[in-house]
Structure 1
Amino acid sequence: MSVTDDDLAVVAHSFPNFKELVLVCCDGFGTSGLVVVVSECSYLRVLELIEDEVTDDEVDCISCFPGDGVTNLESLAFDCVESAINFESLEKLVARSPRLNRHVSISQLYRLLIRAPRLTHLGTGSFSPSEEQPQNDNSRESDYLSAFAACRSIVCLSGFREIAPEYLPAIVPICATLTSLNLSYANVDAEQLKPVIRLCHKLQVFWVE
């Protein structure tokens, strides 16, 4: 389905109490259209972009969420947005939102997790070490395990683009609560997955490719 920036602007300007926008397999719009939505719709609870083709207009929509107080945002999924985002803006948004989701390193993900222990849905585009991070750092690995262990409310986990397989065990602390696990973008094999998936006793939805 084709959706234009003008279409998004009409929605944002016509419905001041607009709360949910979910676009699945859509094209024709860019980050400029998303900026209008996030800046104008202060009651927005859900913004999910799933398998969309989003044009990079060189504007960062994450930085355009209004205000400094607590937001109404409950679900944010944008891993199909190819352009870089302002991580500080994302971190602040997560910190003031009750729930929250390709240019995010494992160290940045860790910072997000410790700031938002009440997350129930987490979609991450990247789950790999940053270039400056040592590959064999046992203390960091323990930190990531601890961060996930603090997020016992997570029931839906997705994303994992370019995952470094050695970090997959980091999600073990939350496996028991997961009802949905999407590894369709993850470059892991069956043997690497077995120790994790056998712990997901409540799993109802499981995606792999």
Structure 2
Amino acid sequence: MLEIVNSQQGTPVVCWQGLALASMKNPVRAAEHWVIQNTSAVKNCDTVIILGLGCGYHVVEFLKVFPEKSVVVLEHTKELVDYCGRQFPMELAAVNVIQCSNVSHLITMARIEAALKKSYCVIEHVPSCVVHRQFYIDIACLLRGREPNGIREHLALRERYRHLFNESDIVRDLPNAVEANELISIHHLDRWMKPNEKWTQGGLMLQVLKELVK
């Protein structure tokens, strides 16, 4: 259940189950700082996927700095979506706010598929991710291709990369990864790569990435 309290600046802050979803001191300034912290991550991508709507301040400040970005906000709680829609109707009209409490439904949504086809990044609103920790961890793994459904979707959307890998190896290994609760890693991709693709541009890029994460 939502509880609305005032920050030291007099601006409203939403609390969910006793946890404040924005700074109790100065939520706008904290939102500005959040944008600065994430600037390097988002500057080279077309679409930004924000995990958590919170009180909405961070999204509003993000749009001021990056009005050219396509923004998708994923929020677990419908009450928060409704509240922020009332607080910031004009600002959030420019954003794709998706309310979803079932991670498996996300990958089938047209707006998510459209985002995954472009260059995109995933950034987190920490207070929101603390409240629904496992939900947002699962979403991040899905969107970053770190779990089976995510990697299937990424390869399905990217023909230029899909041909690098042996589909039979992927089909063989994914059930084992699910059973073992493994995160999909660069090492899985290396195992799945066709031998004759090792020295292509895509193959060499994968080898470089593999060395970087050792």
Q: Which has the higher contact order (CA 8 A, sep 6+)?
A: 2
More helix by proportion, 1 or 2? 2
TM-score (norm 1): 0.32
Q: TM-score normalised to the size of structure 2? A: 0.32
